[in-house]
């Protein structure tokens, strides 16, 4: 191990090391990138909650370098001495996979990004023109330029072709870009969440350009606020009104090498899902990604509202969505709810430990709307099947901040000082703040169905502000 102690054990006295967790539905590889010289230990769950280090761990990652690690299926826990980026990809020689890029600070847009690919890399400009965009491939311990294009205009895109699998670096001279890496060697089965213009994955402006693919593609836009108007331009000129949080607006018939632009009146979550489109039994999605949360717009979050992917053909029910939680802190409470058609109903409320993977559902119904709330940041993984997948992650400095209970002091300005689920940090007017019950304060919190401002049990809203 890099550390003498278990990196996922709570110990407020020791140094906090960057750590990340990924879930691989099948066997494949971990591609780890680090800006600084790094040692990264990798543990794998044996399927029964027992973790052991991979052969060769810890792995030495050179400065501005990449190490490729063969890895089995399951839950991987990674801990480094410096920050790092990791991509987990299936062991394929064919097939269809897609993933977004990751910047040097963990966002999905930037002037310097790393991305996995095996065939195409698409770089997309936002509202500022990035000028020259250069693609580098990593091989034999160094980066080599393999392509360059100039994006002189805002809201433009370029596509690079690559011939080997691995990590690539995208460098833009003048303004941030987003990038997507993919393999498109068979009828489409890919799925990935899309970068917003602010670099998160929940925002009001999203741009996407599909690479060449065979099949039927849909751009899906999900509202997180009621009454969200959306406008799609470029490859399609459409507009829509999304009435309720969690409802989606779909743009079908995506065309390759065509830029689609989304503008929304309020933040939205957007993704692309594709199927072969032939009407055959192969009409399923097989890729994976981590779900962006609503508090930070990243996949390391406490609040998640998302719909599972939808396949037009149900011949392969084992390819339906699988949902997992990956936990970073001890004593984490998570509440999982599903929309019943009239309200959210609680499926489970669970107490979880640092480093744990919790399976929410296997082969769940396509189009299921989940609301997941946690009192500590977690990952929510949305996967499908043991092959044709690729995902990514960025190391997080776990702060080991204990969850504050009712009546305990808290800091409303500290992003990572969390009250327990159902509580909020409230100032008392004297310069201090404590964790108090959210239900009854008249403010509709993410995890509440109602809040009439009355004391619990005295108004029209049920105790706990949950309709179920």
**Category of 386 on φ-ψ map: left (φ > 0), alpha (ψ -120 to 50) or beta:** alpha
Instruction: Answer yes or no: is 444 within a domain.
Output: no
Asked, for residue 170, whether it belongs to a domain, the answer is yes
- pLDDT for 177: 98
SS3 464: helix
The overall average pLDDT reported for the chain is 91
Would you say residue 374 lies in a domain?
yes
* Distance from C-alpha of 150 to C-alpha of 96, rounded to nearest angstrom: 28
Q: How confident is the model at residue 35 (pLDDT cuts 50, 70, 90)?
A: very high
Q: Is pLDDT above 80 for 13? A: no
Backbone angles phi, psi at 309, to 5 degrees: -65, 160
Q: Which helix (H) or strand (E) holds 67?
A: strand 65-71
Residue 414 lies in a domain: no
Domain holding 335, by residue range, is 18-397
Do the domain assignments include residue 423? no
Asked if residue 467 is part of any domain, the answer here is: no
Residue 417 falls within a domain, yes or no?
no
Tell me if 454 is assigned to some domain. Answer: no
Q: Regarding predicted confidence, which is higher, 178 or 10?
A: 178
Which pLDDT score, from 0 to 100, does residue 46 have? 78
User: What confidence category does residue 317 fall into, taking pLDDT thresholds of 50, 70 and 90?
Assistant: confident
The band of 400, judged by pLDDT with boundaries at 50, 70 and 90, is: low
Prediction pTM value: 0.93
Count of domains observed in the chain: 1
* Displacement of CA 302 from its chain's centroid (Å): 12
pLDDT-derived band at 207 (thresholds 50, 70, 90) equals very high
């Amino acid at each position: 191990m890099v550390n003498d102690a278990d990196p996922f054990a709570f110990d407020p006295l020791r140094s906090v090391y960057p750590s990340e967790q990924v879930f691989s539905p099948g066997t494949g590889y971990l591609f780890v990138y680090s800006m600084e010289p790094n040692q990264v230990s990798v543990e794998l769950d044996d399927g029964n909650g027992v973790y052991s280090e991979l052969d060769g761990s810890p792995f030495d990652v050179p400065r501005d370098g990449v190490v490729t690690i063969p890895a089995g299926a399951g839950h991987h826990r990674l801990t480094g001495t410096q920050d790092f980026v990791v991509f987990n990809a299936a062991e394929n020689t064919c097939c269809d996979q897609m993933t977004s890029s990751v910047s040097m600070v963990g966002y999905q847009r930037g002037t310097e990004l790393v991305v996995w690919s095996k065939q195409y890399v698409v770089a997309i400009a936002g509202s500022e023109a990035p000028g020259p965009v250069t693609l580098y491939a990593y091989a034999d311990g160094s980066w080599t330029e393999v392509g360059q294009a100039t994006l002189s205009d805002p809201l433009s895109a370029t596509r690079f072709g690559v011939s080997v699998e691995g990590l690539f670096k995208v460098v833009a001279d003048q303004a941030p870009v987003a990038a997507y890496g993919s393999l498109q060697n068979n009828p489409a089965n890919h799925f990935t969440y899309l970068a917003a213009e602010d670099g998160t994955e929940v925002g009001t402006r999203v741009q996407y350009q599909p690479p060449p693919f065979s099949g039927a593609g849909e751009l899906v836009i999900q509202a997180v606020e009621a009454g969200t108007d959306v406008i799609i331009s470029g490859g399609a000129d459409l507009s829509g009104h999304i009435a309720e949080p969690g409802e989606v607006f779909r743009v079908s018939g995506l065309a390759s090498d065509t830029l689609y632009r989304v503008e929304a009146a309020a933040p939205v979550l957007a993704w692309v899902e594709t199927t072969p489109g032939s009407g055959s039994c192969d009409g399923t999605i097989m890729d994976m990604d981590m779900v962006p949360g609503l508090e930070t717009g990243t996949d390391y979050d406490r609040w998640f509202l998302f719909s599972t992917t939808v396949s037009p053909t149900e011949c392969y029910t084992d390819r339906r969505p699988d949902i997992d939680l990956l936990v970073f802190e001890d004593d984490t409470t998570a509440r999982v709810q599903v929309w019943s058609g009239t309200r959210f109903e609680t499926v489970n409320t669970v107490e979880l430990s640092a480093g744990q993977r919790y399976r929410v559902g296997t082969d769940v119904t396509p189009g299921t709307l989940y609301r997941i709330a946690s009192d500590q940041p977690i990952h929510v993984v949305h996967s499908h099947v043991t092959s044709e997948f690729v995902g990514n992650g960025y190391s997080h400095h776990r702060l080991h901040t204990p969850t504050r209970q009712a009546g305990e002091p808290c800091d409303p300005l500290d992003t990572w000082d969390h009250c327990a689920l159902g509580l909020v940090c409230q100032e008392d007017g004297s310069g201090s703040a404590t964790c108090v019950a959210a239900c009854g304060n008249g403010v509709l919190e993410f995890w509440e169905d109602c809040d009439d401002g009355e004391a619990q049990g005295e108004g029209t809203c049920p105790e706990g502000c949950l309709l179920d």
